[in-house]
Amino acid sequence: MNCLEFAEKLQLTPLCEKEKNIEIEGVYIGDLLSIVMSKAKKNYAWITIQTHINIVAIAELLELACIIVVENMEVDIDTLNKAKELKIPVFKTSESAYQMACRMSDLGIK
């Protein structure tokens, strides 16, 4: 499933989208950046409560499909500007990481 279909089905709020649409191959949930760097994989969706600019650097480094910010956290404007510059999709939801993971699992994304 690609990012746009995925975001639409899960009713995510787009904060920063990109034209190129990446197929989501899995999901990683984590907030400790060093652990995310060692565990997340290319084309994974990343679920986090982190909102600072370093999340974009990690998404770019690992070639993640998108970032999903949960718990209705406010994303820093610098983060969104950098994500736009690097064409990294960022979405937001009021749901918890657990709720989002369950819904993703229901869509077949593990």
Domain that holds residue 44: 3-106
pLDDT at 20: 61
SS3 37: helix
pLDDT at site 23: 87
Tally of domains within the chain = 1
Q: What is the mean pLDDT of each run of 10 residues along the chain (110 residues)?
A: 86 82 91 96 97 97 96 96 94 97 91
Q: What is the pLDDT of residue 19?
A: 60
Structure tokens at 42: 């290319």
CATH number at residue 75: 3.40.1390.20
- Beta pairing class for 90-92 and 66-69: parallel
Contact assessment for residue 103 and residue 10, using Cβ atoms and an 8 Å cutoff: yes
pTM value? Answer: 0.94
Task: Please tell me the distance from the alpha carbon of residue 73 to that of residue 69, in angstroms, as a whole number.
Answer: 7
